[in-house]
Structure 1
């Protein structure tokens, strides 16, 4: 006779987390908000841009996808709600009772969230770019997907936003508090790199460019800017940050009581 543990397969855990994600109203709100902000601001930038206004030297992808600065907050909040939200509602007890080994719950949450977020943001970045270019045609910001670095930057933007959300998901699992995790994300992930970058120490400012927020900026740029990380290094840094966030959260999940 099979035991409960034998019946708890990775596929079933993933399916469970998939259903839980889409039954939350916050999922629809956060994803719709992130996409709308990115697309809406991108179209606004394209529709209001005029050549010779002083922004001709701005990276085209950065200009169009400036809405990412707002979208990343919506996706980070969603990542936090997926983990810390279960502690606030008490649902985490049922989740961990059904999966006694615990860690598969965390990995499945991250996998489902990552797959959904990457798919949505990838589509949104390409749609936003192409739609904005309808307005930018004939200006000094006109560009196409075939231009050097453009496609890579669009895909990199989606990857950066997704990994940023996974970091937030890990913080939610670690702190088990929605307000606490949001505060830690804003302070540690978004504000701290800016503060460190202003310090008059080469080592500190050099390390700051590999922090999550700065790495996302590097991934969004079609052209490597002086003083920033290369796209490859920025992507690797983001993967390591996300892995570290999940690893620390996993250790805490195993050692703590529910």
Structure 2
């Protein structure tokens, strides 16, 4: 019977796949979030969309402030300076939607999704990290520039005031709409995997279809407009929508659309070939 001699200076062989400690799920998620943050800012379109959104929102705040400053005191618009932010927030929303749709589809368009998944083979971790990073940034950034536009209006019309309690309620609505809407954009991007197609689908559901259906002389079209996410977003941001809708119904409608979109996008990324 033959025997195996083990060199004592070398020691027994070690299988790294078995014996090396594996990183925890939290560690992998944190690393992936850092990678997604870096990827977000290496895409040139992120800078352009962020700049365009800030210029649009703050520029409109400046225009509104100048317009208010020229009005006689007895003709000032009703409400506080936060009213200016509610007007500019609707325009800022569309820039954020474009930013998120492009961020979700950029590496599918370039083929970079293949090395991305080689570095992060746990696809559900990639879905969570990409969604959290993109949506969190868009929501925080959008809320800040909307608050900034309200401050600009206040600078031209200090008599309008900027009460904290009103601002807290208003910015909470803005943050919810921005978070749900950008979640919808990211989910659509993961599902469609095409930048142009994602932009058309998201902007159609958020802007074009609600306005178009509400103008048609058919009750079914008006009812359909009330079920679209863009109608809910307009109601919460501007206080009015193309069709009558309560704030609760608007929030639920927008939230359901966002949840369905991100689940559908996640399922496709996890279950199907990433380069198709």
Shorter-chain-normalised TM-score: which range? 0.7 to 0.9
Residues 245, 187 of structure 1: CA spacing in aligned structure 2 closer, same or farther, 3 A cutoff?
Answer: same
Deviates more, 1:19-28 or 1:166-175: 19-28
TM-score normalised over the length of structure 1 = 0.83
* 1:144 lines up with 2:165 in the alignment: no
Name the Cα RMSD after superposition.
3.1
Q: Counterpart of 1:89?
A: 110
Q: Counterpart of 1:72?
A: 93
Residues 225, 239 of structure 1: CA spacing in aligned structure 2 closer, same or farther, 3 A cutoff?
Answer: closer
Q: Partners in 2 of 1:5 and 1:183 — Cα distance? A: 46
Q: Counterpart of 2:222?
A: 205
Q: Counterpart of 1:102?
A: 123
Q: Counterpart of 1:165?
A: 182
Report the alpha carbon displacement of residue 58 of structure 1 after superposing the two structures with TM.
Answer: 8.5
Report the alpha carbon displacement of residue 36 of structure 1 after superposing the two structures with TM.
Answer: 2.1
Secondary structure of the residue that 1:144 maps to in structure 2?
coil
1:39-65 Cα shifts (integer Å, max 9, x gaps) = 111121111224479884689645444
Report the alpha carbon displacement of residue 191 of structure 1 after superposing the two structures with TM.
Answer: 0.8
Q: Counterpart of 1:114?
A: 135
Residue of 31, 34, 38 corresponding to 2:50:
31
Which runs of 5 or more residues in structure 1 are unaligned?
none
Report the alpha carbon displacement of residue 156 of structure 1 after superposing the two structures with TM.
Answer: 1.3
Secondary structure of the residue that 1:229 maps to in structure 2?
coil
Residue of 211, 216, 226 corresponding to 1:194:
211
Secondary structure of the residue that 1:173 maps to in structure 2?
helix
Q: Counterpart of 1:241?
A: 257
Residues 94, 225 of structure 1: CA spacing in aligned structure 2 closer, same or farther, 3 A cutoff?
Answer: closer
Q: Partners in 2 of 1:96 and 1:6 — Cα distance? A: 18
Higher gyration radius (CA): 2
* 1:174 lines up with 2:195 in the alignment: no
**Aligned pairs, number:** 253
Q: Partners in 2 of 1:130 and 1:169 — Cα distance? A: 30
Is this contact kept in 1: 2:84–2:150, CA < 8 A?
no
